[in-house]
Amino acid sequence: MNFKIFCSFFLPPLLSYPAMYATIDHALFSLINHQPAPCLQEALSSPELFSYLEINGVAGVMFYHLQKAGLQHLVSPDVYEALKDRFHSQIRKNMECSATATIVFRLLQKAGIPFIVLKGIALSEHVYPHFAMRTTSDLDILIRKDDLLRADLVLTQAGYQAWDSTPQQALLNPPGYLASLEYHKPGISFAYAHLHWHLVNTSTPATAFIKKVDMERVWEKSVIAKVAATEVRLLCPEHLIIYLCEHALRVGHSFDRLILICDILNAVKTYEANLDWNIVAAEAKALGLLNFAYLGLKVVQSYGGKELLSDDIFMRLAPPALSRTERLFLALQENHYRIRGSSYLIYMALSRGPLNKGHLVLRTLFPPRPILAQRGRFKLRAPINILYLQRIREIGSHLLRIFQYLHRMIYP
């Protein structure tokens, strides 16, 4: 059966994505792009509006654009007050996070440890029109792998503790899996400081493309900027956009929240005047992340980037060919079907041949022991049968949720 016919025949009846959610999506991105929104009144009067925006991490985005457009009167007083309170509380939270970030940055700088600030507070300060539009949970910092033990010592002396593993254990993780550690400290504004030593950080095997990612290139092209009133390094604009696409397409995300789309959309808007899309394409290819950049930007285009992201841009970014599973993923996203785990279709496509696909599935179901231990915050010395029994329970629970979700779609 022709792929387009398959999608047009099977997707509409299967995907019972609530119509009101799609209406809110359209209204939000129309406001962001300063375009007429015929559905605006319907979206803003929905009783599900605030909870939906909160779940998707975009309550601040909606509030800001309603204020800028002078349309706050279209929202019920209760919802408007909830949005305003959420926005003001985010200002306070981000200011507190900024103060904590300054301390962590200076600790690393004093120790002579180079680092790059990723996402979070850096996006709030550099790509969003207002500081409070983006929520901030953890402090994502990229260091070199060789500096992890020194960084661990610095943070430990400052009262932080590695939470999900030890640096010695984490450094033994196989390539293409988890490449980070969470550092917790009682009383800090962030949930934790998150040290990364590779851009790709996932418990789903990224072995199909991990060796292509040139981390030295990332460091060489990083740029100096101020974050939390401190001079730090950031990803260059081209790498930031590529990284945000890869991050949003991790199996644990799969563009499941609108904030992931807004991150990329605002990054493109911020840097578009100086972006050369031929360079973006060349960098994505050099980093081995071309498919991620193309697919991620395609999702953004389908939601709110049609004018910003022209077809000419995608001609430059297009991989040699998209597999059926990648096209299926795009079809799901374009139908507003954002379900965590669906980007596994992309990982399957990048694993060439039946043996590699089989290895991906096997290692997804049963990751190496150190990865299982870190994911479950077990000590590595935990008995292997305990680790894998916990994994089997996790798989069963996830399959049950998928079954329940499909049942609700087919029999709403």
Tell me the per-residue pLDDT of 231-267, one tens digit each, with 9 for 90 and over: 999 999 999 999 999 999 999 999 999 999 999 999 9
Task: Please tell me whether residues 346 and 295 are part of one structural domain.
Answer: yes
CB-CB contact of 352 with 343 (8 Å): no
Task: Please tell me whether residues 250 and 315 are part of one structural domain.
Answer: yes
Quickly list H helices, 39-76. 40-44, 49-55, 59-69
* Domain end position, chosen among 350, 372, 396: 350
- Please provide the distance, in angstroms rounded to a whole number, between the alpha carbons at the two ends of the chain: 28
Q: Can you read off the two tokens belonging to residue 404?
A: 């329940």
Identify whether 401 is part of a domain: yes
Residue 198 carries which side chain, given as an amino acid letter? H
CB-CB contact of 131 with 124 (8 Å): yes
What pLDDT, on a 0 to 100 scale, did the predictor assign at position 405? Answer: 64
Would you tell me how many other CB atoms lie within 10 Å of the CB of residue 5? Answer: 9
Domain count, the chain: 2
- Residue identified by tokens 């400290």 is 185
Task: Please tell me whether residues 357 and 396 are part of one structural domain.
Answer: yes
> Which residue range(s) make up the domain with 376?
353-412
Whole-number Cα distances in Å, 115 to 36, 151, 232, 268, 403? 43, 10, 7, 23, 43
User: Above 80 in pLDDT, residue 214?
Assistant: yes
Q: Read off the pLDDT of residues 258-293 as tens digits, 9 standing for 90 and up.
A: 999 999 999 999 999 999 999 999 999 999 999 999
pLDDT over 70 for what percent of the chain? 90
Q: DSSP secondary structure string, 85-121?
A: HHHHHHHHHHHHHHHHHHHHHHHHHHTT---EEESHH
230-234 and 223-227: which strand pairing? Answer: antiparallel
* Domain end position, chosen among 334, 350, 366: 350
Half-sphere exposure of 210 (CA within 13 A, CB side): 17
CB-CB contact of 120 with 136 (8 Å): yes
Task: Please tell me whether residues 345 and 371 are part of one structural domain.
Answer: no
**DSSP structural state of residue 2:** -
- 309 falls in which pLDDT band (50, 70, 90)? very high
- Residue identified by tokens 């000419």 is 312
- 409 falls in which pLDDT band (50, 70, 90)? low
Task: Please tell me whether residues 262 and 337 are part of one structural domain.
Answer: yes
Task: Please tell me whether residues 338 and 400 are part of one structural domain.
Answer: no
Rounded to whole angstroms, the Cα distance separating 57 from 136 reads 10
* Domain end position, chosen among 324, 350, 376: 350
Rounded to whole angstroms, the Cα distance separating 301 from 312 reads 12
Cα-Cα-Cα-Cα dihedral sign, residues 11, 16, 17, 21: positive
Stated pTM of the model: 0.90
Q: What is the 3-state secondary structure (H, E, C) of 158-188?
A: CCCEECCCCHHHHCCCCCCCCCEEEEECCCC
Identify whether 69 is part of a domain: no
User: Above 90 in pLDDT, residue 1?
Assistant: no
Identify whether 179 is part of a domain: no
User: Above 80 in pLDDT, residue 7?
Assistant: no
**DSSP structural state of residue 261:** H
Identify whether 21 is part of a domain: no
Class of residue 191 by CB neighbours under 10 A (exposed 0-12, middle 13-18, buried 19+): middle
Would you tell me how many other CB atoms lie within 10 Å of the CB of residue 12? Answer: 10
What pLDDT, on a 0 to 100 scale, did the predictor assign at position 403? Answer: 74
